[in-house]
Amino acid sequence: MKRQTKLSKKSIINAICAVTLTIALLVFPIIYFGVCPKKYVDFIESACKKYDLTEETVYAVIKVESGFNRNAKSAKGAIGLMQILPSTAEYICPDETGIDLYNPETNVFTGVKYLSYLTDKFDDEKVALAAYNAGEGNVITWLSDENFSKDGKTLSVIPFKETRIYVEKVLKFKRLYKILYKSFQA
């Protein structure tokens, strides 16, 4: 009789564990796909191929910059999904006039082109992301300061708190995008 009771308790515990695991496996993707959406897929895939960036990086930048709000505008005048300043758009696309940064396709291509430019220039993703947020000039200054960079190529310290938090968030979301969309591919 005792043995039967032990097996029943063990069976109940196993059943509870199985149900809990099943619920977790069903709820986890729903929650995280909501937190890490993939919108504007065609534009992002195309721009990433053209400018040699990973989609996860671009999705993470858009998530942090605008939360996928195509009509976002910052207090500093940055516009759209990737929060591009009109002056940055003119700089990175000098041959184009009247760039509509509220247009998702235009915004994504401009933002990815700029991020690719920064990645090539600084040859370090963390530094490129810092430049995307704080500007090239600030990053060049930081790289030449031994308090922030030991080798002139990477940043050991990002002095602007906003930029430091920005880079951390983008890298966190990049990891989440990579895990979620690689793990749950059909």
152-155 long-range contacts, Cβ below 8 Å, gap at least 24? 153/122, 153/123, 153/124, 153/127, 154/124, 154/126, 154/127, 155/124, 155/126, 155/127, 155/130
Task: Give phi and psi for 73, each to the nearest 5.
Answer: -145, 125
Angle at the Cα of 88 from the Cα atoms of 170 and 135, rounded to 5 degrees:
50
Instruction: Write down the catalytic residue from 55, 56, 65, 125.
Output: 65
Q: Contact at 8 Å (CB) between 47 and 58?
A: yes
Measured distance CA(159)–CA(144) in Å, rounded:
13
65 labelled catalytic: yes
Residue recorded with tokens 């591009």: 84
Residues tagged active-site: 65
